Amino acid sequence: MAAVNDPTAAFQTEGGADAKPVDIDLTKLTALSPEVIMNQATINIGTIGHVAHGKSSTVRAISGVQTVRFKNELERNITIKLGYANAKCQNPNCPPPSCYRSYPSSKELHPKCERPGCDSRMDLIRHVSFVDCPGHDILMATMLTGAAVMNGALLLIAGNESCPQPQTGEHLAALEIIGIDPHNIVILQNKMDLVRESEAQEHCEQIRRFVEGTTARLAPIIPVSAQLRFNIDAVVMALAKIEPPKYDFTAEPRMVVIRSFDVNKPGASVDELKGGVAGGSILQGVFKVGQEVEIRPGIITRDTEGKVTCRPLISKIVSMNAEQNHLQFAVPGGLIGVGTLVDPALCRADRLLGMVMSSVGKGPNIYTEIKAEVFLLRRLLGVKTEDNKKAKVGKLVVGEMLFVNIGASQTGGRIMAVKGGDVTIQLVTPACTEKGEKIALSRRIDKHWRLIGWGKVKSGGVLAEVKDPRGD
Ligand SMILES: Nc1nc2c(ncn2[C@@H]2O[C@H](COP(=O)(O)OP(=O)(O)OP(=O)(O)O)[C@@H](O)[C@H]2O)c(=O)[nH]1
Ligand SMILES: *[C@@H]1O[C@H](CO)[C@@H](O)[C@H](O)[C@H]1NC(C)=O
Ligand SMILES: [Mg+2]
Ligand SMILES: [Zn+2]
């Protein structure tokens, strides 16, 4: 499957440097329009939870693709698993959950029902992308980057271990921080093949007590075995009930970049060279092939006095892909690969991570210092400890260095002032943000960054110096 993950994917076969944007009536389209979801996903579902609880196995079970995982391999990146279509049988007598089915997306709008004895066709009702997060505790920042583009989540909880494990709680707190709709969370009690029924029931009660009062309080708990693919149709049914957000297709387009690539093979000749590819998710508005775009902050430089200047990248969209589909336009949600004319060296190895794509001149502000109202967690969730004192989150201290996730971007942030609940944070790398945006704050504890709270951006930060990229 051609994918944002696959740097060798053949971008740029359509469109090209001379492409002109298509004319479409955006007021007639929604995130559930068949002509939209036959081409791209419009919902991003995160898989979250403690390390090895079965996140990737679940995505594999839903997608039907089996891949071997090396035993000690640490999955470091967010893996973007693209494009699974969810369909429901047209036959009203076809019983749930087997009247639901997922399949790798194709252009087929009405596949045949696969339930033995049913001849009906199915309707395509959802098209989701999976943002498969790593669960290892040292990769919390990566999880937070993925969280920036999630609309909903599957929370994986292994049924053969007591609940909660540290990252079960820490990942769930991240969903709360970014404000995921509680209706869009589904809990999967996994590894049911390893436990007896009475143990499973007791464990389910543990889960219920754990999620009480959290953002997962409304989530259904579905017992599954991702490995044996037990009850996966019930998961597909739950996913089919998640509503996409009410996107504004007519707003100024914004895409957050979570991967970027140089797709050229080593030794490619100059006239074969393709521009960089940015993979990400559109938050609002619509991008079209042929459109001129700006990517912010772009190239960041620091002079000898420490003064920071940003030079946004100006380019043109020469192609857009969602899975194997070439798109003429792309709408919010889902994960999209955008072929540009940006110097591929600038896109290599996720260098554009966290940057924001917009129309030229319409990009968000870039800040070097932000003011935020801060809310600290009462206790550290991400570490296992018997000692409650140690688990308390201490107050922020002037001068201390935190790790800050702003949208999909990650940077260090020095606390410059603390006044009541408000803090001033100087950013090591300038970032795009705006008033009201929620940011995640992590502190170094036992050599690793642990989530300690969040902030809501207030006005009054310090803007970065932005050089007009079209000037000299
Ligand atoms: N018995 C059993 N083992 C499972 C099940 N689901 C996953 N596993 C095993 O648990 C291990 C971890 O599964 P993954 O799907 O890689 O877990 P993960 O949550 O993606 O792990 P990280 O990405 O490293 O956090 C693998 O060895 C799987 O084979 C299940 O339902 N039953
Ligand atoms: C739970 O199952 C996994 C296999 O998926 C195993 O490695 C782990 O040790 C088990 N946990 C407990 C507490 O038995
Ligand atoms: Mg995994
Ligand atoms: Zn059917």
Q: CATH no. for residue 294?
A: 2.40.30.10
122 within a domain of the structure (yes/no): yes
Mark which of 319, 337, 359 sits at the end of a domain. Answer: 359
How would you write the pLDDT of the chain (472 residues) with one tens digit per residue?
333 433 333 333 455 667 778 888 888 888 888 888 888 889 999 999 999 999 999 988 987 655 445 444 455 555 555 556 778 899 999 999 989 988 776 657 788 898 899 999 998 888 888 888 889 888 888 899 889 999 999 999 999 999 999 999 999 999 998 899 999 999 999 999 999 999 999 999 999 999 999 999 999 999 999 999 999 999 999 999 999 888 889 999 999 999 898 988 888 888 888 999 999 999 999 999 999 999 999 999 998 988 899 999 999 999 998 877 889 999 999 889 999 999 999 999 889 999 999 999 999 999 999 999 999 998 888 887 665 556 889 999 999 999 999 999 999 999 999 999 999 999 999 999 999 999 999 999 988 999 999 999 999 899 999 998 776 5
User: Is 10 part of a structural domain of the chain?
Assistant: no
In this structure, are 51 and 136 located in the same domain?
A: yes
Ligand 3 ion: residues within 5 Å (CB): 55-56, 75
- Which runs of consecutive H residues, i.e. helices, occur in 254-334? none
9 lies in a domain? no
Same structural domain for residues 295 and 409? no
Q: From the CA of 222, how far away is ligand 1's center (Å)? A: 16
* Residue nearest atom 13 of ligand 1, based on CA coordinates: 54
- Pair (205, 124) in one structural domain: yes
Given a contact cutoff of 8 angstroms between Cβ atoms, the answer to whether 43 and 144 are in contact is: no
Please check whether residues 270 and 196 belong to one and the same domain: no
Q: Looking at the structure, do residues 321 and 346 belong to the same domain, yes or no?
A: yes
Continuous segment of H or E residues that includes residue 320 = strand 319-322
CA distance 98 to 151: 25
2 domain-assigned? no
Position in ligand 2 atom list of the atom nearest CA 54: 5
Q: Are residues 57 and 175 in the same domain?
A: yes
Residue 387: the pLDDT is 59
Å from CA of 63 to ligand 4 middle: 19
144 and 58 both lie in a single domain: yes
Which of these, 250, 263, 326, 251, lies nearest to 290 by C-alpha position?
326
Q: What is the pLDDT of residue 27?
A: 82
Q: Of 212, 241, 270, which one is at a domain's C-terminal end?
A: 241
Give residues (CB < 6 A) around ligand 2.
Answer: 158, 160-161, 191, 194
16 within a domain of the structure (yes/no): no
Q: Domain of 155?
A: 34-241
**Residue 7 confidence (pLDDT):** 36
Instruction: State residue 121's pLDDT score.
Output: 93
Ligand found nearest the CA of 112: 4
* CATH number, position 87: 3.40.50.300
Q: Are residues 76 and 112 in the same domain?
A: yes
Ligand 3 centroid–CA 146 distance in Å is 13
Rounded CA separation 142/136 (Å): 10
Task: Say yes or no: 55 and 144 in one domain.
Answer: yes
Say what the pTM is: 0.90
Both 172 and 267 in one domain: the answer is no
DSSP state letter for 14? S
- Is-contact 398 417, C-beta < 8 A? yes
Atom index in ligand 1 nearest the CA of residue 192 equals 31
148 CA distance to ligand 1 middle (Å): 24
Q: Is residue 215 part of a domain?
A: yes
Q: What is the pLDDT of residue 221?
A: 98
Counted domains in the chain: 3
- Looking at the domain assignment, is residue 177 inside a domain? yes
Looking at the domain assignment, is residue 471 inside a domain? no
Q: What is the per-residue pLDDT for 354?
A: 94
310 and 190 part of one domain: no
Q: Which residue ranges have their beta carbon within 6 Å of ligand 1?
A: 51-57, 69, 75, 134-136, 156, 190-191, 193-194, 225-227
Nearest ligand atom owner, CA of 92: 4
User: Among residues 241, 273, 304, which one ends one of the domains?
Assistant: 241
Taking the CA of 57 as reference, the closest ligand is 1
Distance separating alpha carbons of residues 82 and 63, to the nearest angstrom: 9
Beta strands per DSSP E along 306-447: 308-316, 319-322, 325-327, 329-330, 336-339, 356-359, 366-376, 401-406, 409-419, 422-432, 438-445
User: Do both 68 and 163 map to the same domain?
Assistant: yes
Residue 5 CA neighbour count, 13 Å, CB half: 13
